[in-house]
Amino acid sequence: MSFISNSIKEQFKKRKYFFESLFWGTLAGILSQGLNFIANILIARILGKQLLGEYTLFISANAGLHTFGVIGLNVIATVLVAKYLHDKGKIGRLIPAIYIIVCSASLIVSFVGIILQYLPVEFKIWETSSILTLIAAIIWFLTSALDLVQVAILLGFKAFKDVAKVSLLKGIISIAITYTLVAKYGVQGGVLGNSISFILSLICNYYFIRKNCQKYTITLTWKLSNSVYSEIFKLSIPIFSAAIFVAPAQWYANYIIYNTQGGENALSIFAIAYQWLVLIQFFPTQISRVALPWLTSMQETRDYKNTEKLGLYFSLGIATVIVILSLIFSHFIIEDLYHFEYITSHVVFKIILFTGLLSTINLYLGQTIIAHGETWIRTIADVAIAITLIITIHIINQHEVIYALPISYFSSFLMGTIVLCIFKYKLKI
């Protein structure tokens, strides 16, 4: 027993900083996603089925646009900062270059969206006739795109405590401001509240990035460097290529359902179930975010595989517990929390819970593959997810609109996970 106890202590000591990072990273997620999750439940109860579907379309459009505005840098920024953390000159050129790329891409995407809004075509990115709501939606997109990359940079610094501080602020704002505005102005208030939330988050993130630069005595250089841009795009393009399929495919699937008879009701039911998919992914997401910079710096060492397995076991274990508890209390969650009918919603809810387990495996395996430098494998898996999602949504939607989205999501994550497992086995990654 003494030998086992000493062995455990030795392993814990060896991974002390990893566990500390995991604690602060998880706390950051709890503060951000947890408070946001509460806000979403309250918002769902205010808006009801019809308006919640409209609000979900704004959220989906925002997520889809991130693909083109962020260009994969929400992941690669973490890898690059962690990789060159002690190369002060390289980091000093990388961070400004990342800002320039994301700002430029996001502005171009916004400009294209505005043009589409006023062209005589049926397709609109933002379903609104209000100029104020349109402006708020654009600000929401621009600031949230930069926020994603700023958080990725802080994760590369392993500044999980700083991310937790910003997450607390953003979570409080989600409840205090966004909820209040939704109660008063409906969907338009939700869009405006999110734009305010991300503006404040943006300012705080930038402050902590500057603080970490001072800590490592890094001077940010805004002078253009072809070699830096070349390295950024070499790693980010495969991630962008992957995301360019998935996020738009998810938005397209939501759009198809929304414009089908009975689609508003189906999208609203899916929206509350999807919030629990996000909850299931919560801890695995935090673990993979923490593991990414650590695995990047651990390549070719004995601790790499051990850390990878540790993260996967933690992720699956926690996700499984959440799924079991959600199944047990599903009636309470659907009827008492959301005020939806259990009889029409419970099948969708349960399908999404099992989808959450698949997405957990998919998420973590994808991050470990990226940390290993094989970003193109993530691209192939996400292409498989997108194609499966679109094909399945068209097939199921012809028969039963209410089950089209949950079945399509389950099928697509199953396909993506199978692809990742095959490549990991074949390439022995």
Query: Looking at residue 298, what is its pLDDT?
Result: 57
d(CA 177, CA 163): 20
Q: Assess whether pLDDT exceeds 50 at residue 175.
A: yes
> For the ranges 119-133, 192-206, 220-234, 319-333, which has the lowest average pLDDT?
119-133
What are 98's two structure tokens? 């990342």
At position 125, the amino acid (one-letter code) is I
The domain ranges of the chain are 2-427
Q: What is the pLDDT of residues 351-401, one digit of tens each?
A: 999 999 999 888 878 877 776 777 788 889 989 999 999 999 999 988 889
Whether the predicted pLDDT of 3 surpasses 50? no
Q: How far is residue 314's CA from residue 268's CA, in Å, rounded to a whole number?
A: 31
Dihedral angle over CA of 368, 28, 276, 354, nearest 10: 20
Contact 363, 348 (CB under 8 A): no
pLDDT at 7 over 50: no
Q: State if pTM tops 0.85.
A: no
C-alpha span between 166 and 311 (Å, rounded): 24
- CB proximity list for 178: less than 8 A, separation 6 or greater: 39, 43, 189, 190, 193, 194, 196, 197
